[in-house]
Amino acid sequence: MPVYYLAVDIGASSGRHILGSIEDGKIVLEEIYRFQNGMIKKDGRLCWDHRKLFEHIKNGIKKCKEIGKIPISMGIDTWGVDYVLLDENDEVLGDMVGYRDSRTDGMDEEVYRIIPEKELYERTGIEKMMFNTIFQLMSEKKHSPGYLDRAKALLFVPDYFHFLLTGVKVNEYTEATTSQLVDAHERNWDYELIEKLGFEKELFQRIAMPGEKLGKLRPHLVEEFGFDMDIVLPCTHDTGSAILAVPANDDDYAFISSGTWSLLGVERDTPDCTELSRANDFTNEGGYDSKICYLRNIMGLWMIQSVRHNLDDRYSFAEICDRAAEADSFPSRVDVTDNCFMAPDNMIEEIKNYCRRTGQQVPETLGETATCVYASLAECYDRTIKGIEASTGRTYSRIHIVGGGGNAEYLNKLTARATGKEVHVGPTEGTAIGNIVAQMISRGAFSDKEEARNMLHRSFDIKVYHYPVR
């Protein structure tokens, strides 16, 4: 019987439980449970339904028992920045507000009144994104301080679920860095910054590194599931997990973790908090092995997901790609990092408005709209890679795309065309694989991430795109 490891990978639109094992020298995956996710409007705020999410987490764990494949350990990864505040009884204060909510509007000015933007970047290395935890907390402080006053602990989304499973409170490092409150060099909370901003230092928990064994299941859960297992921290930030799953051991590549967001960057040993880096919107997020994931947050396939949703989800993603390919010559482009695309009422209208505003041809068909998004994404990838090359003073000959966005064939082709680089696509379950790999390394199944990445290369199909096509 192989040893099983369970990854719970929760994204903005869906979550999945994936069992991983090593069989015949390869990593084998089995998806055993899948569920929908999304932000819901609650009291005028966009929120995550954390109770429902935890029910799904438990249902998926029970599935292991049903199919007779009991994992030795499990770990959860999610998106970044969002959190809950807990009171003295460990109850959630208010809601788990989602990052697309507008509560952070204007909070940059509030924060920069206390600490100038440039200094904030020098300390944290984190790109200004209006949803960063720093701005969310400032919004709570300004608009509803009651919760912050009563709070005893701040846990990020994966930290909270790990706490519900084990009873242990920590802030896992990779996720914590997305808050913009971690000292990029020290890899610990920037307590001076936290104090300056007027947040209670005690809210912030011990920073725990990926790979740490957090504990066992709480006794009542052992009873409910019918088995016990270790909870091992993966990179709980999905980006960190996805990057761990890049099937390469050299450094001649940039990665794109492609899903709802496109995270494009390179792994570095030390943070780059220079003015050039800030001006180019690069961020220094925490990665596995204390690496720095030096990358840019690009809007990604969220725009295509939303366009699809505006059409009542009638078209599959593959169909959307085909329509886009038919409209290949459509000339208009949008800025895929523009805030107007964060949470518009109607994405199709927002794209049309953008084109109208900028004096470009307005897309009329699904194909034209999708081409406009895909081509704009590919061109943004090209600009971003050039920016990274300027920062690191070297060039990269390949791009590795990991994550579900790798299924967008048309976008892969456009990426090769726009960048002139070799594009290697796969594994498409990158995030879950990275989560599992961190658990496997922690248990000693691999001596280090290099050994794991070698096995990834042997285990999954990697498709290569060239332009011109060879």
Please identify every residue annotated as catalytic: 238
Residue from 297, 305, 369, 412 in contact with ligand LRH (CB under 6 A) = 297
Minimum CB–partner distance for residue 130 and ligand LRH (Å): 11
253 in Cβ contact with 265 (< 8 Å) = no
239: contact with ligand LRH by CB under 6 A: yes
Minimum CB–partner distance for residue 89 and ligand LRH (Å): 29
Instruction: State which residue has the least CB distance to ligand LRH.
Output: 79
Minimum CB–partner distance for residue 412 and ligand LRH (Å): 19
Minimum CB–partner distance for residue 263 and ligand LRH (Å): 6
Q: Which of 71, 135, 131 is nearest to 101 (CA)?
A: 131
Stretch that binds ligand LRH, among 77-85, 136-144, 203-211, 341-349 (CB under 6 A): 77-85
The sign of the dihedral angle between the CA atoms of 467, 330, 308, 254 is positive
Minimum CB–partner distance for residue 347 and ligand LRH (Å): 18
Distance between CA atoms of residues 455 and 461, nearest Å: 12
CB-wise, 39 or 214, nearer to ligand LRH?
39
For 203, which DSSP code? G
CB-wise, 230 or 429, nearer to ligand LRH?
429
Give 449-466 as a 3 state SS string: HHHHHHHHHHHCCCEEEC
- Please state whether beta strands 71-77 and 230-232 pair in parallel, antiparallel, or not at all (unpaired): parallel
Residue from 33, 48, 99, 189 in contact with ligand LRH (CB under 6 A) = 99
Beta strands in 146-229 (DSSP E): 153-156, 171-172, 182-183, 188-189, 207-208, 213-216
CB-wise, 4 or 99, nearer to ligand LRH?
99
Residues within window 384-413 making contact with ligand LRH, judged by CB under 6 A: none
Residue from 80, 265, 403, 426 in contact with ligand LRH (CB under 6 A) = 80
Q: Report which residue type is found at 310.
A: N
CB-wise, 237 or 268, nearer to ligand LRH?
237
CB-wise, 99 or 160, nearer to ligand LRH?
99
- Residue 76 β-bridge partners: 8
10: contact with ligand LRH by CB under 6 A: no
CB-wise, 21 or 37, nearer to ligand LRH?
37
Distance between CA atoms of residues 142 and 229, nearest Å: 42
Three-class SS state of 196: helix
What would the DSSP string read from start to end of 254-321?
Answer: EEEEESSSEEEEEEESS----HHHHHTT-EEEE-GGG-EEEEEEE-TTHHHHHHHHHTTT-S-HHHHH
Distances in Å between the Cα of 143 and the Cα atoms of 88, 105, 136, 140, 464 are 22, 12, 10, 5, 50
Rg of the chain over all Cα atoms, to the nearest angstrom? 21
* Contact mark string toward ligand LRH, 100..139, x via CB under 6 A: -------------------------------x--------
146 in Cβ contact with 114 (< 8 Å) = no
Distance between CA atoms of residues 93 and 85, nearest Å: 6
256: contact with ligand LRH by CB under 6 A: no
Distances in Å between the Cα of 180 and the Cα atoms of 83, 121, 233 are 13, 8, 21
Residue owning tokens 């509560």: 103
Minimum CB–partner distance for residue 81 and ligand LRH (Å): 5
263: contact with ligand LRH by CB under 6 A: yes
Half-sphere exposure of 136 (CA within 13 A, CB side): 27
60: contact with ligand LRH by CB under 6 A: no
73: contact with ligand LRH by CB under 6 A: no
The sign of the dihedral angle between the CA atoms of 178, 110, 202, 278 is positive
Stretch that binds ligand LRH, among 45-53, 234-242, 317-325, 433-441 (CB under 6 A): 234-242
Minimum CB–partner distance for residue 280 and ligand LRH (Å): 17
Give the interface size with ligand LRH as a residue count (CB under 6 A): 13
- Residue 232 β-bridge partners: 213
* Contact mark string toward ligand LRH, 175..194, x via CB under 6 A: ---x----------------
Minimum CB–partner distance for residue 134 and ligand LRH (Å): 13
CB-wise, 363 or 405, nearer to ligand LRH?
405
261: contact with ligand LRH by CB under 6 A: yes
Residue from 4, 79, 121, 460 in contact with ligand LRH (CB under 6 A) = 79
Minimum CB–partner distance for residue 91 and ligand LRH (Å): 25
Stretch that binds ligand LRH, among 61-69, 258-266, 366-374, 421-429 (CB under 6 A): 258-266
Residues engaged in binding ligand LRH (CB under 6 A): 79-81, 99, 131, 178, 237-239, 260-261, 263, 297
